[in-house]
Structure 1
Amino acid sequence: MAHDSLTRPPEAASDWTVPQDWGRYTVEEHAVWDTLFARQSALLPGRAAPEFLAGLDILHLSRPGIPDFAELSERLMKATGWQVVAVPGLVPDDVFFDHLAHRRFVAGRFIRRADQLDYLQEPDVFHDVFGHVPMLAHPVFADYMQAYGEGGLRAMRHGAIDKLARLYWYTVEFGLVRSGDGLNIYGAGIVSSRGESLFALDDPSPNRIGFDMERVMRTRYRIDDYQQVYFVIDSFDALLRATLETDFAPLYARLGDQPDLAPGDLLPGDRLLTRGTQAYAMARAGA
């Protein structure tokens, strides 16, 4: 995850990477991973995209304990040419995009405490590795992530990072994909969260809207609670194609002339799959 205005810690290399130092994890920390893994892997069959579940198998993530990034990267490299590198936390935007553009996924190395199983503000190793890395074993999604990194470097020149960040949020973090007559989850923020794995598919509250690049980039998002809207892609091939075929410079110019949309807004042209009640968000706002 990227951020600006950060100071590189002295232990980090010039590209902000640090050793994972796998041997320093305690028995208790490995147990937290195992608890989270067992809970999510029991919940996700039938909910998560088949591509995500296949990634868990390809990368042998069911082995007990926090994965060793070196071993994980070896398997991932064979699958799609990606690797996982440890970073001390949030990294600057340019560093984040450059790593993605070179097929390196940056992951936090710390893990949440046992009393933080259900919510953590800063992404930890479970969110980053369990949530993100299985999809990187899928060749099409792996290409999408590289294209996103390359697009991020271009977006910085256009002053459009905030718009592009929404694309990441509503696909990589909180995306849904069509599956037959239903929907599956693939976004890391959903698949790594027990509560949102249920909410995103089952709850009547959120809107679920067919993916449209411009619509997504106009839409603000919630960083502190369940989403009020989920965007649904038709397929990973369609997502990659939309990214590669979009001319982003004129798109950013158009977006500069349009107002942002609130997370719960609906537009006449939306491909609305589910009109949400917004009951959850209203209840939270009134609490």
Structure 2
Amino acid sequence: MSSTTPGQQEIVASLPLHLRPFVAVQDPDAQYTPRDHAVWRFLMTALTRGLAQTAHPVYLEGLSRTGIALDHIPSIDEMNACLAKLGWRAVVVDGFIPPAIFMEFQALKVLVIALDMRSVEHLLYTPAPDILHESAGHAPFLVDVDYAEFLQRFGEVGMQAIANAHDHELYEAIRELSILKENPATDPDDIANAEARLAALGDSDGEPSEAALLTRLHWWTVEYGLVGELEDYRLFGAGLLSSLGESQSCLDDERVKKLPLTVNAVETPYDITSTQPQLFVTKSCRHMSQVLEEFAATMAARRGGADSLRKAIDAKVVCTAEYDSGVQVSGVISEVICDAVGNVTYLQTRGPTQLACRGKELYGHGIESHKEGFGSPVGLLKEFSRCLSDYTVDELKAHRIAVGEAVELEFLCGITVRGRLEDVLRQEHRNLLLSFSDCSVTALDGRVLFDPTWGRYDMAVGARITSVFGGVADRENYQLYKPLPRTTTPGSKPDPRLMAAYALLGRRPSGSAPNSEVNRESEEVSAFAASEVQSLRACLDDYATEWLLRAEILRVGDVGLPEDLLSRAREELDALVVEAQHRRALALVFPESITA
């Protein structure tokens, strides 16, 4: 990072180390052009007017209470000054970030805001995350305590969901396509190829992972949720609140079916490239929390055991298995051995593996120490009434388990560990790891699970696998995710003359005619200088297709602009904008001038 404002610096410094690289720096003066601010003004005016009667009442109240103005793109510091009063914070990020990282930010009550502002070409829909969707869509409802608690809890649950290799491929495909589509210089063939890759991944016949199912629940609540009754609902999903088109089309109950929200919503996939054929209606934020907990109760993180380990094996990505002793094994789980009644007796990982306890890596047992994988029995020892982790050092000695001695451990399942005990790692009065030299581990059928020639053998201690969750236990010391560089090619540089015209108009409040509710009546506004008016006339001559410039002239209205210039802008804007959705947006912003 280069330099940040004090507010941004303080927030970044308060984050866990592994999250900090994902935080970008916002410099509003340098990153957003006057045209970007004009896009924001136009969209926010149209959205707030269009949603006045259809969005949940908290929406309009929440905009002002979370530092989101209608007349300019908000700075992250403006937002944080307001969010701090609600117990939340916000950071800016550069486009897409891995879903697990997104959820972790959310669990920490940190709202993730995309840095970019959508272009005028993608006014009604942006293929990439942008600051309008992330801030004006998500932030306003944080003023509702129940919603804020739901969002945080969703992050906590989402952090533990097991994703699979297909999920990671899908994320990369969506990320690539959004970058290509947002860049005006992209070759159409590249977009077509990226769309084909995404479509192929979407056609997968495999069972959706926990993370994929949870993403669907997120989509049908946080992004595209309705609240109220089936016959009397309001919009609150950020995807609806930031889409001029879908926020209107979703109200057609004949075209868009409304269903009551239950946990069954996870069975309904979604398509990010098209409007939704159905939406789910929740009674309240507390109702959503109930549905979330109903799903969470089915997750491997809650259930543990053999089925959860098999779910991790099928995922083929790094997951964490937690013993009842507190020992956590983080790696790609490759095998689980069970007895005849389904109890886990042995687990094996492959590749770099971390050993931890309660989220902290055990000293000397990071991925450098277990590069090739890790395997260990699970269960009780024969004639031991308690888990081995519960025995004191003196009790271990009484059972002939002592450092420096040859030890033989016979598990109830038939696995036998023989070797010289070199160390017992204890924490919080519990035995967590037993380390052996010259060690052999054999199964009941004689299978060799560990051979003395393989080196030192570290055995995790625990009677049961109580939890299996996605990712690693200690994220600081085993960082699965790193920020990826943007692969887009910079587009054309902003035209200085055109930007100067937008800047000139942007410094003026909205005129009294079509934008009376945002008119700053307390400000004294002088008439535009003759040279400034002449410059605007010349811009209309030279930028014949720049419809947003004409919209900005109409926004300023009769505050210092001559009537003939306003008439020209109105006529040319009416002729330029032919797309139905754009016309509906213009009619919201200029109800007296434009017909939808």
TM-score, length-scaled by structure 1: 0.78
Alignment of structure 1 residues 1-287 onto 2, 5 Å: 14-24=20-30, 25-79=32-86, 81-156=87-162, 159-178=209-228, 182-213=232-263, 215-244=264-293, 246=295, 247-249=297-299
TM-superposed CA distance for 1:119, in Å, is 1.6
For residues 208-237 of structure 1, the C-alpha deviation after alignment (integer angstroms, 9 at most, x for no partner) is 100001x11111112111101101001112
- Equivalent-residue separation in structure 1 for 2:279 and 2:290 (angstroms): 20
Which blocks of at least 5 consecutive residues in structure 1 are unaligned?
1-11, 257-287
Structure 2 residues not aligned, in runs of 5+: 1-17, 165-208, 312-596
Secondary structure of the 2:250 match is helix
Residue type matched to 1:167 in 2? L
| Deviation sequence 1:250-286 (CA, Å, 0-9, x none) | 79989x9xxxxxxxxxxxxxxxxxxxxxxxxxxxxxx
As a proportion of its length, which structure holds more strand?
2
CA distance in 2, matches of 1:183, 1:239: 15
Structure 1 Cα separation of the partners of residues 230 and 85 of structure 2: 30
CA distance in 2, matches of 1:196, 1:203: 13
TM-superposed CA distance for 1:192, in Å, is 0.6
Q: CA deviation at 1:20?
A: 1.5
CA contact (8 A) 2:61 2:140 kept: yes
Query: Could you list the runs of 4 or more consecutive aligned residues of structure 1 that deviate by over 3 angstroms after TM superposition?
Result: 12-15, 250-254
Partner of 2:464: none
Deviation per residue, 1:66-119 (Å, 9 max, x gap): 00111111201202x111210001001221111000001111111111222112
Change (3 A) 1:227 1:43: same
Q: 2-side partners of 1:243 and 1:114: how far apart?
A: 37
Tell me how far apart the structure 2 counterparts of residues 21 and 135 of structure 1 sit (CA, whole Å).
26
Partner of 2:565: none
1:33 partner letter: W
Q: Following TM superposition, by how much is the alpha carbon of 1:207 offset from its aligned partner in structure 2, in angstroms?
A: 1.5
Q: In structure 2, do the counterparts of structure 1 residues 102 and 15 end up closer, same or farther at CA, with 3 Å as the change threshold?
A: farther
Residues 37 and 73 of structure 2 are in contact (CA less than 8 Å); yes or no, is this contact kept in structure 1?
yes
Distance 1:92 1:70, change over 3 A: same
> How far apart are residue 133 of structure 1 and its match?
1.0
> Relative to total residues, which structure has the larger helix share, 1 or 2?
1
2:163–2:212 contact (8 Å) kept in structure 1: no
In 1, Cα distance between equivalents of 2:21 and 2:282: 33
- Look up the SS of the partner of 1:156 in the other structure: coil
Task: For 1:156 and 1:100, locate their aligned partners in 2 and report how far apart those are by CA, in whole Å.
Answer: 17
Q: Which has the higher contact order (CA 8 A, sep 6+)?
A: 1
Alignment partners' CA distance in 2, 1:61 and 1:82? 15
Structure possessing the higher radius of gyration over alpha carbons: 2
Distance 1:192 1:200, change over 3 A: same
Match of 2:442 in 1: none
CA contact (8 A) 1:111 1:126 kept: yes
Post-superposition CA distance 1:122-165 (Å, at most 9, x none): 12111111111111222111111110110011113795110100
8 A Cα contact 1:183 1:201, kept in partner: no
1:207–1:77 CA distance, 2 compared to 1 (3 A): same
- More divergent stretch after superposition (203-212 vs 239-248): 239-248
Give the Å deviation of 1:243: 2.4
Shift in Å at residue 242 of structure 1?
3.1
Q: 1:13 to 1:182 in 2, by over 3 A?
A: closer
Number of residue pairs the alignment of both structures matches: 242
Using the TM superposition, give the Cα deviation of residue 203 of structure 1 relative to its aligned residue in structure 2, in angstroms. 4.8
Distance, in Å, in 2 between the alignment partners of 1:144 and 1:88 is: 25
1:268 is aligned to none
- Conserved 8 A contact 2:68-2:135: no
Q: Distance in 1 between matches of 2:262 and 2:33?
A: 44
Distance in 2 (alpha carbons) for counterparts of 1:219 and 1:181: 21
In 1, the alpha carbon distance for the partners of 2:265 and 2:290 equals: 16
Question: What residue number does 2:489 align with?
Answer: none
Quick one: distance in 2 between partners of 1:15 and 1:178?
Answer: 40
Q: Distance in 2 between matches of 1:228 and 1:180?
A: 15
Q: Does the 8 A contact of 2:240 with 2:247 survive in 1?
A: yes
The Cα shift of 1:61 comes to: 2.2
1:179: how far off? 5.7
CA contact (8 A) 2:40 2:70 kept: no
> How far does residue 21 in structure 1 lie from its aligned partner after superposition?
1.5
User: What amino acid is aligned across from residue 83 of structure 1 in structure 2?
Assistant: R
Residue number in structure 2 paired with 1:261: none
CA distance in 2: counterparts of 1:237 and 1:54, whole angstroms: 20
Q: Is the 8 A contact 1:184 1:201 kept in 2?
A: no
**SS across alignment from 1:177:** strand
Residue type at the aligned position of 2:153: A
Q: 1:13 offset after TM fit, Å?
A: 6.8
| C-alpha contact 1:174 1:186 (8 A) present in aligned 2 | yes
Q: Which amino acid aligns with 1:87?
A: V
Contact 1:72 1:84 in 2 (8 A): yes
